[in-house]
Structure 1
Amino acid sequence: MRLDIVTIFPEIFDFIKDIGVVGRAYRNKKWELNTWNPRDFTDNKNRRVDDSPYGGGPGMVISAESLENTVNSIKDRHKLYKLDEAPVILFSPIGDIFNQSHALRLSKLSGMILVCGRYEGVDKRFVNNCVTQEISIGDFILSGGEIAALALIDTIVRLLPNVLGNNNSKVYESFDINKSGLLDDYPYTRPRNFKGKKVPEILLSGNHNDIAKWHREQSLTITLARRPDLIIKARNQGLLSEDDERFISNINSYNIL
């Protein structure tokens, strides 16, 4: 997978190529990272890419010219190497909220162009001319799209084939659609007894069916307590079994939470 990042702070992305699972995948050539600074693609002699907004208001706006020139240069490079057409994704507070379903879809692409906004935003004409999709990572304000891009990269790269040491790891995780989109319960490891707190006996039993049932019930419990909206979503999608519904009903009846 080829990722092209449009940012006025390309140095932010240096560390992700060296750290953890994503860094290992980069060294193993599972994905490629290229950064493009719009300052290099503007006719402004001062390499300025921002200006004050028409109509007044606070802050500065990144120009359509600098961003469109950058994206066009990236696309020219793609054509030179006969690469597939890549979607142009802009990180924006008004974009679609990014989730695991988005990540799964994007992880199947051969590449994408990620545009990191800054200041008060980008000129709408760039959005209209070039942007395929706008994405937000949550209902909060960041200084720019770089942190959002890093989050997206980490999420997507770990879904690429043979990136995780155990391919089952990406199936049994919170929000994965193969697991009904529920939150994970907490895991345990050695020692069995830590400051008087013991590992639940069921996890030491060796009975895989009972352990799986216990994990499912723990997952249902924590999801109902912290993200009941995910329970409703799973129910609407027909992803909860009769046993799941019975367990949830018992939790509500006895006010366990």
Structure 2
Amino acid sequence: MRFDVLTLFPEMFTGFFSSSIMKRAIEKGLVTASAVNFRDYTTDKHRTVDDTPYGGGSGMVLKPEPLFRAVEDLRREKTEAPRVLMMSPQGQPFTQKKAEELSTVSHLILLCGHYEGFDERVREHLVDEEISIGDYVLTGGELPAMVVVDSISRLLPGVLGNESSADEDSFSTGLLEYPQYTRPAEFRGWKIPDVLLSGHHRQIDEWRRQESLRRTWKRRPDLLDSANLTEKDRAFLVTLLDEEPS
């Protein structure tokens, strides 16, 4: 998997690429990642990447020329066409499903904007899709790009130490993850559920499924509308309704 991030602040990615999961993925050769300063693709002596908007208005707009040159240069390095993503609050919401879809692509180029955003021709003729990590505005696209790269990387085979970890995460099953416990079995008078000490794996799996349903129902009931639920799941959800105070 290859990630190329086009940014005006490549130094922001130094720690990100050299720490934790990303560092291990790169050292194992499972991921190749670079932060490319698209200012390097300007041709004027002032290395200009932005200009005032046509029609007037406040702020500055990122020029199309450096971005097109940068992406076209990166495309020449691969036989398979990369997918170009724009980090934008106007984009489609980034979800676990989208992360899983993008994890099957071998090369992603992520564009990080600043100022008043991109010249519209970048959107129309260079970008394959726009991605938003939430309904709020940030100073630039660097933090969203890190979120996208991290969430995709951990889905790649061999990146996580335990291959089943990603499958059990919140949203991977369409539900929130069940509660987790570790030693000691009792802490300050708070005991872990007895079933986790039982050694009965089928009972533990059933408890985890029910607790996942319970947590989703309490915190993100909207997820239940699209979750893949069995008849047993639906029957359990009915019992949760009965537990509600009248």
Q: TM-score range by the shorter chain?
A: over 0.9
The CA deviation at 1:74 is 1.3
CA distance in 2, matches of 1:73, 1:103: 25
Of 222, 238, 244, the residue aligned with 1:249 is: 238
In the alignment, which residue of structure 2 is the partner of 1:158? 154
The CA deviation at 1:256 is 6.3
Post-superposition Cα deviations, 1:55-109, rounded to whole Å, max 9, x if no partner, equal 222221111112111111111233xxxx311011101111011111111111111
In the alignment, which residue of structure 2 is the partner of 1:107? 103
CA contact (8 A) 2:83 2:105 kept: no
**Moved beyond 6 Å, runs of 4+:** none
Q: Which runs of 5+ in 2 are unaligned?
A: none
CA distance in 1, matches of 2:72, 2:105: 19
In the alignment, which residue of structure 1 is the partner of 2:205? 212
Q: Which runs of 5+ in 1 are unaligned?
A: none
CA distance in 2, matches of 1:42, 1:73: 13
Q: State whether structure 2 residue 47 is matched by structure 1 residue 47.
A: yes
- RMSD (Å), alpha carbons: 1.4
SS of corresponding position for 1:167: coil
CA contact (8 A) 1:65 1:126 kept: no
In the alignment, which residue of structure 1 is the partner of 2:126? 130
Q: State whether structure 2 residue 18 is matched by structure 1 residue 18.
A: yes
The CA deviation at 1:122 is 0.2
TM-score by length of 2: 0.96
In the alignment, which residue of structure 2 is the partner of 1:59? 59
SS of corresponding position for 1:92: strand
CA distance in 1, matches of 2:103, 2:68: 25
Q: State whether structure 2 residue 223 is matched by structure 1 residue 227.
A: no
CA contact (8 A) 2:114 2:139 kept: yes
The one-letter amino acid paired with 2:223 is L
CA distance in 1, matches of 2:60, 2:44: 16
SS of corresponding position for 1:151: helix
The one-letter amino acid paired with 1:4 is D
CA distance in 2, matches of 1:23, 1:34: 12
The one-letter amino acid paired with 1:47 is R
CA distance in 2, matches of 1:214, 1:103: 28
SS of corresponding position for 1:65: helix
In the alignment, which residue of structure 1 is the partner of 2:5? 5
SS of corresponding position for 1:230: helix
Identity %: 43
